[in-house]
Structure 1
Amino acid sequence: MTVPRPGPGVVDAHHHVWDLSVRDQDWIVGAELTPLRRDFGIVDLEPEARAAGVTATVLVQTVTVPEETPEFLSLAARSDLVAGVVGWTDLTAPDVADTLAALREGPGGEYLVGVRHQVQGEPDPRWLVRPDVLRGLAAVAEAGLVYDVVVKPHQLMAATEAAARLPDLTFVLDHLGKPPIASGALEPWAHEARSLAALPNTVCKLSGLVTEADWGSWTTQDLRPYAETVLDAFGPERLMFGSDWPVCRLAASYAEVVSTAGELTAWLDRAERQEVFTGTAVRTYGLTRVPLT
């Protein structure tokens, strides 16, 4: 079978890097995550990305420490591949606006395009609508940045409420909201994803599917109902591809992730595929350094 390729000029809107000699990734625990307990850098990603037709990427935070974001911005300034950084800052801090301004004004600050917090790890399912968090999210909007939402299905309702309260802030849903692909269940995830998509200031990443499926036996058909749900709900103009490298390596190679995304969107016309694999990311994050070939 010939696997459809997205084409040249692909933007990978979601990947990570880490250096364990700089700091530990304390979320990498247990035997099943052992393959991730090593360094992953841009030098490792670049040949795989180029081979897949990817010409620009968005580097996304991994840990909730303030030092990581300036490091990522400096890396972006030195890289020909990284076109934007989604960093981290404490949204509940009284000086969050000043912190964001300092990041924007510091080295590589022009590459800061968004902010993310590991909401999926928060015990309060309504963390996103706490008054102090909403205040921080408003500061993100005022800074001209977007907010990446990494949540589990039971937290999607709060994400929708936060997006409704802050219409000037673009909310980007990472990994489709982590639907239970391995179990095959669609509800209540699909209903909550559609509720979020009903708001015009929301975007979704076609990312993280393979690691929500059965790592050893997933097929494209297992992923299809979830991809089709968000394609129908958000539309191609509010959907963007992301690899979630190197986490995706637990279930698939980089090339497999890209080609599977191509299969899942093969029925779209050329302009719609261009949106999913390039246009939506460029527009949402305001990326300026995106080679087309």
Structure 2
Amino acid sequence: MIDTHVHFWNYDAVRDSWITEEMQAIRKDFAPKDLIQPFSDLKIEGCIAVQANQSEAENHFLLSLAEQSELIKGIVGWIDLRILDLEERLHYWSAFKLIKGWRHVLQAENDEFILNPEFIAGLQKLKQFNYTYDLLVYHSQLPSLIKMVDQVPNQAFVLDHCGKPNIKSGEIQEWAANIKTLAQNPNVHCKLSGLLAEADWAKWTENEMFKIFDVIFENFGTERVLYGSDWPVMLISRPYADWFYLVNKYAAQFTTEERTSVFSGNAKRFYQL
């Protein structure tokens, strides 16, 4: 089994200002060694380490961690897709085979950024290097995201955290309609991850989560959904095993082959592990 979405960091109060006081549980360092026990207990083979800091130094940081730990099977790094020498930088990073793709924190940007011609031109250069691209947006940004991915045919995309539906309010109809549209693009996959942070951290219910799961699997099927956790961010709500067992309980309705796809096969294909 592969967890397709984990983060590592050496906590810095200024750089990591997004980690608010209410997130006290994650205002500290997190390293691969902290995953050894939960992964061992649950028989999870490894993970995809996803950028948390928007600098190329982050790529070197994650690569250095991967040298120390076999748990890291692939890396989703950061690069500025709008720079003039993008192809040169992509060529440089292509020598580091553990880097499988890239991500920008689009949830912090406006719609103009998502649809910026320079940004889209950068996305169009990724295919020649066989790079994937992780899509991190809020549910309100999905309409712009749909327009964006349609301009980059044949690029392998994966939606992080199911497009961050507003679980807390229960208003998911518009999100569900946008997910249906987005999923019609066969190049877009979806990570079943990060949902605990979008719910009431203390009081979310299994039923709330399964309503989201229903929409995701109805539209992406078991062949385009990747299991992920968003550890350590998810720790603001529950221990790692709680999320794993929740997904596992829902997946009990699937065939053995379908469960294998969700928990490992899709990740191995998508990220070319």
TM over 0.5: yes
Displacement after TM superposition at 1:70 (Å): 1.6
SS in 2 for 1:43: helix
Structure-2 separation of matches of 1:145 and 1:22: 31
Structure-1 separation of matches of 2:12 and 2:22: 21
Structure-2 separation of matches of 1:78 and 1:219: 38
Structure-1 separation of matches of 2:244 and 2:112: 33
2:206 corresponding residue in structure 1 = 220
SS in 1 for 2:229: coil
1:76 corresponding residue in structure 2 = 66
For normalisation by structure 2, the TM-score amounts to 0.96
Higher relative contact order (CA 8 A, sep 6+): 1
The one of 103, 121, 124 equivalent to 1:116 is 103
Residue deviations 1:222-280, cap 9 Å, x none? 10111110101000000000010000000111111111111122211111111110111
SS in 1 for 2:93: helix
SS in 2 for 1:190: helix
1:275 corresponding residue in structure 2 = 261
The one of 90, 99, 102 equivalent to 1:100 is 90
SS in 2 for 1:249: helix
- Which letter does structure 2 place at the counterpart of 1:96? L
Structure-2 separation of matches of 1:104 and 1:72: 15
The one of 162, 176, 188 equivalent to 1:202 is 188
Contact 1:49 1:254 in 2 (8 A): no
CA RMSD of aligned residues (A): 1.4
- Unaligned stretches of 5+ in structure 2? none
Structure-1 separation of matches of 2:214 and 2:178: 15
Q: Residue 13 in 1 paired to residue 19 in 2?
A: no
Displacement after TM superposition at 1:32 (Å): 0.9
Structure-2 separation of matches of 1:21 and 1:32: 16
Could you list the structure 1 runs, at least 4 aligned residues long, displaced by more than 6 angstroms after superposition: none
SS in 1 for 2:19: coil
Structure-2 separation of matches of 1:141 and 1:77: 26
Distance 1:23-1:84 versus aligned 2 partners, 3 A rule: farther
Distance 1:207-1:167 versus aligned 2 partners, 3 A rule: same
Structure-2 separation of matches of 1:157 and 1:249: 30
SS in 2 for 1:54: coil
- Which letter does structure 2 place at the counterpart of 1:116? R
Structure-2 separation of matches of 1:36 and 1:212: 16
Structure-2 separation of matches of 1:126 and 1:213: 28
2:154 corresponding residue in structure 1 = 168
1:61 corresponding residue in structure 2 = 51
Displacement after TM superposition at 1:168 (Å): 1.8
Residue deviations 1:60-110, cap 9 Å, x none? 0001122001221232233211100000011111112211221222xxx11
1:249 corresponding residue in structure 2 = 235
The one of 173, 182, 201 equivalent to 1:187 is 173
Residue deviations 1:136-159, cap 9 Å, x none? 111222211000000011211122
SS in 2 for 1:57: strand
Q: Residue 231 in 1 paired to residue 221 in 2?
A: no
Structure-1 separation of matches of 2:266 and 2:177: 23
Displacement after TM superposition at 1:127 (Å): 2.2
SS in 2 for 1:147: strand
- The percent identity for this pair of structures is 34
Contact 1:115 1:140 in 2 (8 A): no
Displacement after TM superposition at 1:126 (Å): 4.0
Distance 1:22-1:100 versus aligned 2 partners, 3 A rule: farther
Question: Which stretch has the larger CA shift, 151-160 or 53-62?
Answer: 151-160
